[in-house]
């Protein structure tokens, strides 16, 4: 059953890249989330485009897309993927927080969960970087996979964290 063993370890416990040569090509998609909390004044500055560094949200979206395409370069056992679509959406969820949703798609032999997680994380880090001069107390939190489809393990959708089997 998928998930019962660590496929990135060989039979002697050494790290290895998973061999995906014989896996079937399927449509694969994953969506991840990150949240960043900040002072309400910082979020107002971003929302009203009064930040001295320019359009902070556009820069974070571009950074997230770029990061998804480079995930294989950042995480040692990830395969280089030919992503067919990457979207990064950033929404205000409260007067002091933004939610980042990153979705990656492809037709291929391995999943795109790490690419979606990387996109959401780097978009959040970019927001922090661009705003740290005005708010060093920002907090990046709740980076998680929300949903994935395709591949042998099928569909996954995150449940309420209080009830989900971790």
Q: Which helix (H) or strand (E) holds 42?
A: helix 40-47
Rounded Cα distance between 2 and 6, Å, is: 9
Regarding beta strands 85-94 and 97-108, do their DSSP bridges make them parallel or antiparallel, or are they unpaired? Answer: antiparallel
Contact assessment for residue 33 and residue 144, using Cβ atoms and an 8 Å cutoff: yes
Q: Let me know if 129 is a catalytic residue.
A: yes
Catalytic residue from among 4, 10, 96, 129 = 129
Closest C-alpha to 81, from 102, 104, 101, 103? 104
Q: Catalogue the active-site residues.
A: 129
């Amino acid at each position: 059953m998928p998930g019962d063993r660590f496929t990135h370890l060989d039979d002697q416990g050494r790290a290895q890249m998973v061999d995906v040569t014989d896996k079937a090509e399927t449509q694969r998609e994953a969506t991840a989330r990150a949240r960043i909390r900040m002072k309400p004044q910082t979020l107002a500055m971003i929302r009203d485009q009064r930040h001295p560094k320019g359009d902070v949200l556009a820069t974070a979206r571009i950074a997230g897309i770029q990061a998804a395409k480079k995930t294989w370069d950042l995480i040692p056992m990830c395969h280089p993927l030919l992503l067919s679509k990457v979207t990064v959406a950033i929404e205000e969820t409260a007067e002091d927080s933004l939610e980042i949703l990153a979705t990656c798609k492809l037709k291929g032999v391995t999943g795109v969960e790490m690419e979606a997680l990387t996109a959401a994380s780097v978009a959040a880090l970019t927001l922090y970087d661009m705003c740290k001069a005005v708010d060093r107390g920002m907090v990046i939190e709740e980076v998680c996979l929300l949903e994935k489809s395709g591949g042998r393990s099928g569909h996954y959708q995150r449940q309420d964290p209080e009830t989900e089997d971790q």
